[in-house]
Amino acid sequence: MFKKLMYNSLLLSVIGVFLLSGAVMALDASTLYEYALNQIFFFNPEGANNYCTSGGDCYISGDTWDERMWSALRHVGFTPEQTAGLIGNIVHEGGTPTTQEYVYNNARNSGCTTAEGKPYDIHTDFASDRVHHGSCIGGSYSAGSEVVGIGLGPVQWSSHGRREGYLAKMAELGLSKYFEGDAYKKYGSLSDEQLREKIKSETGSENDYWALWCAAIKFIWTEMQGDYKGFFNNSTAAEYGAWASASYEICGQCMAGGSQYNARVKSAEEYWQKYKSGQFAAVENGSAPVANGGSSGNVSASSNGSNVTIIGDSITNGARAALLSVMPKAEIVAQDSKQFSSGGSADNPSGLQIVEQLKAEGKLRQIVVFALGTNSAVTKSDVDAVLKAVGPDRQVFFVTNYDTVKTNKYDDNNKAFAAAVAGNNNVGVVDWKNAILTASGSPSDYVKDESVYAVHPTSEGQKLFAETIKNAINGVKASDTCSPNGTNGELVIYYQGDEPWGSLPYGNCGGTTIAEAGCGPSSLAMIITALSGKKVTPDEIAKKAADRGYRVCGSGSAHAMTDIAKDYGLTVKNYGRPSIADINKALKNGVMFQVAGTGPVPLSGIGHVIGIRGITDDGKWLIFDSAHKGQGTNEREWDPMEIYPYIGSEWRGVSKKVGVDV
């Protein structure tokens, strides 16, 4: 069952995760406990072997090397085309997170030392002693004079600066022992599976192995966002593969026309075709559930659709392929012109009749998605009939209806769905209407303009339709939320890196973008949207902040930027550093806080601004986080002590009410 959540805005659907029972991988109790303490995540697409990642940094799943690499790269933010281009290169590199090239081994085994007589090790800077090392190991490495013949990680980082950056990431995670000194003798030449088994035999768990993976994937993302931004200027898998070969890998024969260049471009295209044929469907776009409350989390079967029945009309029928790409084991019963509860025929039974038939045959699954209503008016009695047929032991989700031409056409249907939510703990709403209205771009990007009516999704709309359903059924059901403020606003999540605002400059700070420094405007935009009921986007707030001097180059935004909320008829107050009890009281009174701090997720090591938007019945906090996309931070309930100790003394509250105090 779902908890009743105290939100500061009415929310009909929200992404999250059910933590259900079921074996993920054979782990002993002490390992599970260790994983839980470190927020280790699990995912199990289609029953595939599960792997875990630590620290909330990444997501890894799959039975094969390329599946795991695909899932990890996609999760940190690369598009399918970019992922195919990267894997097309990585498959020709070292493969494992610790690989140290044979030149390093040979040099150490031959007794090579630096000019100062120190051991030739992983930190040796070739540029400082080129002649000596050249005579020792037979010449400079192919990438240039400022490298030594040591390659680390799945892309074989070899230049001194890049290698040191990679080692710093490993040290940050406590993984230096796999690289320093004579570690190469144990780990440097092992295959991927050999490395995993070696670590497991030495430590009793695979935790370090997946942490190594996680660090490597995050380092790729960090580099691409930094010195290698040109990577993102391409469009096809082959183009990304070619750019990575010539500008990122910098290997021998990696420049245009070289044998390695051609091989890597070919591999990139091959991985793109594997993706297009659906071979990565089970690991595509996954979101790992959070291990809450000191226990490990197992993903619900709804992630792959094995416990989901979707009943729909032509909208669902047209989106069938998109639905199966995100939930490959879902049962889809969809026909054009299907009716909600009455008016069915032998050839095209109504949704209600489908439920009754499947239930009688013992085939109705645990989660039932009712994506109907566009072909008829839906009344309370229609909804009640469906709920009675489904029964109280299953979860039911009604998908809202929307016509982009006749925008009020389905208001009564959607009200009937919302009314059902209010009185039933097993009912939720998949807010398809809101997904269309809040997606980037315009509604016409997602729904075809059919003149008389417009309800059928475009190809992009089909993807959005599928993701909206998956996210809702994998989520904490927020349909029985209360609204202390009396606000009729909807919860809207903005990520600072999303377009169309992510690439826009934030102030006059040398081209720094909203994606890079816009957590302040993004979190405030979410707070204002939730409280005012007006759709206010990050770029709008970023412009106001820059114009009023709230943009602080090199650090982000001034605390006083919260005052922008006054432009929208809201009240703003600086609470200093209140106690948790006072914060909870304010949250229950309808206050949302904008705060800044440095620390673990949902904050960051360099500082991050978030919103505290609500509180649950059992005292957990709900937040607005614009940075950690795909990590479930906006859906999770947070213990106050996971956030409070890391926040400074500026707790700035925003409210619809005048004079609200703690």
Q: Which residues pair with 596 in a beta bridge?
A: 609
Query: Tell me, what's the pLDDT at 385?
Result: 94
Do 325 and 466 meet the contact criterion of CB atoms below 8 Å apart?
yes
Please state the φ and ψ torsions of residue 133, each to the nearest 5 degrees: -70, -35
Place of tokens 């609204």: 483
Identify the pLDDT of residue 398: 92
From 304, 291, 293, 284, select the one nearest 54 (Cα to Cα).
Answer: 291
Question: 509: helix, coil or strand?
Answer: coil
pLDDT band at 107 (very low <50, low <70, confident <90, very high): low
Summarised one tens digit per residue, pLDDT across range 460-477 is: 899 899 988 887 776 532
Please give the structure tokens belonging to residue 397. Answer: 């989700």
Distances (CA, A) of 317 to 172, 422, 582: 49, 29, 51
Domains of the chain: 19-98+190-299 (1.10.530), 99-164 (no CATH), 301-473 (3.40.50.1110), 514-655 (3.90.70.10)
- The model's pLDDT over 531-572, given as tens digits with 9 standing for 90+, comes to 887 889 999 999 999 999 999 887 789 889 999 999 988 999
Higher pLDDT, 213 or 400: 400
C-alpha 153/C-alpha 133 separation (Å) is 23
Q: How far is residue 274's CA from residue 281's CA, in Å, rounded to a whole number?
A: 10
* Bridge partner list, 621: 615, 638
CA dist 643 to 145, 518, 579, 595, Å?
46, 20, 13, 10
Residue 207: which residues within 8 A CB-CB, separation 6 or more?
31, 34, 35, 38, 40, 52, 54
Residues in the chain: 662
Structure tokens that stand for 558 in this block = 């001034």
d(CA 474, CA 657): 34
Say if CB 58 and CB 216 are below 8 A apart: no
Residue 565 carries which DSSP code? G
- The pLDDT score that the predictor gives to residue 38 is 36
Per the CB < 8 A criterion, the answer to whether 461 and 318 are in contact is: no
Residue 206, pLDDT score: 76
Q: Is 507 helix (H, G, I), strand (E, B) or coil?
A: coil
Distance of CA 319 to the CA centre of its chain: 22
User: Which among 221, 193, 189 is positioned nearest to 209, based on CA atoms?
Assistant: 193
Beta bridge partners of 96: none
Of 339, 589, 382, 594, the closest CA to residue 486 belongs to 589
The pLDDT of 152-177, averaged and rounded, is 79
CA dist 131 to 118, 128, 136, 276, 647, Å?
Answer: 16, 9, 9, 50, 52
CA angle 199, 203, 205 (to 5 degrees): 80
DSSP string computed for 3-50:
PPEEESSB-S------B-----S---HHHHHHHHHTT-B---GGGPPB
Mean pLDDT across 97-103: 71
25 pLDDT higher than 70? no
pLDDT single digits (tens) 359-387: 888 888 888 999 999 998 999 999 999 99
CB-based contacts of 227: which residues, under 8 Å, 6+ apart?
none
How far is 78 from 66, CA to CA, in rounded Å?
15
How much is the average pLDDT of 485-513?
77
CA atoms within 13 A of residue 638's CA, in its CB half-sphere: 26
Tens digits of per-residue pLDDT, 186-219?
887 788 888 888 988 998 877 788 888 888 888 8
Nearest to 402 by CA among 368, 439, 435, 442: 435
pLDDT, tens digit, for every residue of 45-58? 333 333 333 333 45
Q: 243 and 231 in contact (C-beta within 8 Å)?
A: yes
Dump the DSSP string for 304-345.
TTTTEEEEESHHHHHTHHHHHHHSTT-EEEE-TT--SSSS--
Name all contacts of 274-279 with Cβ < 8 Å and 24+ positions apart. 274/66, 275/70, 275/80, 275/83, 275/84, 278/325
CB 480 within 8 A of CB 422: yes
Q: What average pLDDT does range 621-628 have in this prediction?
A: 91
Going by pLDDT thresholds of 50, 70 and 90, the confidence category of residue 498 is: confident
- The reported pLDDT for the residue numbered 256 is 84
Report the distance separating Cα 619 and Cα 389, nearest Å. Answer: 36
Q: Name the range with the highest mean pLDDT among 7-16, 59-68, 136-145, 340-349.
A: 340-349
Scanning the structure block, which residue is given the tokens 């009344």? 379
Please answer whether residues 654 and 565 qualify as being in contact, where contact means their C-beta atoms are separated by less than 8 angstroms. yes
Express each pLDDT in 631-662 by its tens digit. 788 888 898 988 988 888 789 999 985 544 44
**Are the CB atoms for 208 and 257 separated by under 8 Å?**
no
Q: What residues are paired with 152 via a beta bridge? A: 157
Given this model, what pLDDT does residue 539 score? 94
Enumerate residues 6+ apart whose C-beta is below 8 A from 277.
Answer: none
- Give the residue from 239, 367, 205 showing the smallest Cα distance to 301: 367
Torsion, Cα of 279, 468, 316, 325 (10° steps): 0
Q: Residue 336, CB half-sphere, CA atoms under 13 Å: how many?
A: 2
- pLDDT of residue 310 exceeding 90, the answer is yes
Distance CA 323, CA 332 (A): 9
Phi, psi of 510 (to 5 degrees): 65, 30
Give the angle 28-65-211 at the CA atoms, nearest 5°. 50
